[in-house]
């Protein structure tokens, strides 16, 4: 009988029709480009896949290995069903009642006194249970944690990024409210309106240019934590908190050319900003775009 890690080591090519080297799937999908996995199974899995692929196909199974940190609970303990500290992603995405959270602790193997402490902490943290945060907020949270060596997943942080999703939704509503009926962005872009751009228009376009450069570079370098932090800062701190506020006077009292320049600046920021966000928040950005 083959053990789990032996059969897993065969996975990159055995799932593609091997040993038939003429299999269409094998030719199309093997070798792969990127393997994403936890750093705790480098020897158990990654090394075995490399050795078996070289031995049986004479090819490396992938070019790059991306190791993510281990996901633990909010206090840094390894998640375990026996401890009752497992965070089910579906409960965060779709919501979970306090009763369900308490039941998980009561059905764990924790001593009675530890159960009482854990239940008290959960009740204080989520008196109404976990609110529905959605897939995008959870994904964005996990990427934000990538700057750390381990992920101590605090559901409150997911709730915070849910509010970030709402912020993105609201700034798009603000734009649509201000776009006149039949508005079409200038095909020549904001570059053709230089003389009518306000100082705030030029500032936000500069910030947009900076976040484009940093996002592309961090994505290529697998620095996802830095990437989402830059995107968060641009959308919330710069576009929503500053630019939309300072642009209101120009949209109300500026000349026709100034208003057009500001509207096109806002459109450009949303158009490019949503595309930058798309890999991290595909559902929200697709709906808004």
pLDDT(112) > 60: yes
Confidence at residue 1, expressed as pLDDT on a 0 to 100 scale: 47
Angle at 83 between CA 79 and CA 87, to 5 degrees: 45
Kindly state the average pLDDT of the residues 205-222: 96
Q: What is the pLDDT of residues 67-82, one digit of tens each?
A: 888 888 777 778 777 7
pLDDT, averaged across the chain: 90
Write the DSSP string, 178-241.
Answer: HSPTT----TT-GGGGGGG--HHHHHHHHHHHHHHHHHHHHHHTT-HHHHHHHHHIIIIIIIII
Of the two residues 252 and 78, the one the predictor is more confident about is 252
Confidence at residue 270, expressed as pLDDT on a 0 to 100 scale: 96
Kindly state the average pLDDT of the residues 147-169: 90
Q: What is the pLDDT of residues 167-184, one digit of tens each?
A: 999 999 999 999 998 888
pTM confidence score = 0.85
Under the banding of pLDDT at 50, 70 and 90, the label for residue 2 is low
Under the banding of pLDDT at 50, 70 and 90, the label for residue 142 is very high
Question: Checking DSSP bridges between strand 150-152 and strand 70-72, what pairing results, if any?
Answer: parallel
Domains of the chain: residue spans and CATH: 4-68 (no CATH), 72-132 (no CATH), 136-288 (1.10.730.10)
pLDDT(275) > 50: yes
Q: What is the pLDDT of residues 44-60, one digit of tens each?
A: 899 999 999 999 999 99
Confidence at residue 113, expressed as pLDDT on a 0 to 100 scale: 86
């Amino acid at each position: 009988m083959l053990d789990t890690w032996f059969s897993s080591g065969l996975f990159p090519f055995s799932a593609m029709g091997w040993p038939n080297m003429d299999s269409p799937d094998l030719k199309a999908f093997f070798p792969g480009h990127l393997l994403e996995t936890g750093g705790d199974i480098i020897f158990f899995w990654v090394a075995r896949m490399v050795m078996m692929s070289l031995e049986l196909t004479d090819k490396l199974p992938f070019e790059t290995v991306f190791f993510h940190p281990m996901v633990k609970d909010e206090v840094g303990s390894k998640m375990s069903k026996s401890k009752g500290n497992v965070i089910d992603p579906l409960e965060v995405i779709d919501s979970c009642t306090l009763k369900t959270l308490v039941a998980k602790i009561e059905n764990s193997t924790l001593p009675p006194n530890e159960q009482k402490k854990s239940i008290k902490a959960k009740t204080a943290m989520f008196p109404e249970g976990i609110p529905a945060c959605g897939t995008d907020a959870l994904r964005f949270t996990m990427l934000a944690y990538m700057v750390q060596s381990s992920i101590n997943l605090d559901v409150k942080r997911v709730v915070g990024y849910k509010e970030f999703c709402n912020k993105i939704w609201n700034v798009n509503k603000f734009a649509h409210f201000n776009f006149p009926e039949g508005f079409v962005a200038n095909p020549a872009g904001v570059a053709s309106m230089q003389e009518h751009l306000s100082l705030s228009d030029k500032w936000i376009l500069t910030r947009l240019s900076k976040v484009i450069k940093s996002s592309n570079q961090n994505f290529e370098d697998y620095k996802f934590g830095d990437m989402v932090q830059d995107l968060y800062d641009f959308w919330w701190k710069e576009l929503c908190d500053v630019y939309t506020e300072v642009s209101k006077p120009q949209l109300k009292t500026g000349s026709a050319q100034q208003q057009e320049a500001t509207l096109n600046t806002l459109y450009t920021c949303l158009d490019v900003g949503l595309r930058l966000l798309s890999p991290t928040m595909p559902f929200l950005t697709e709906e808004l775009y």
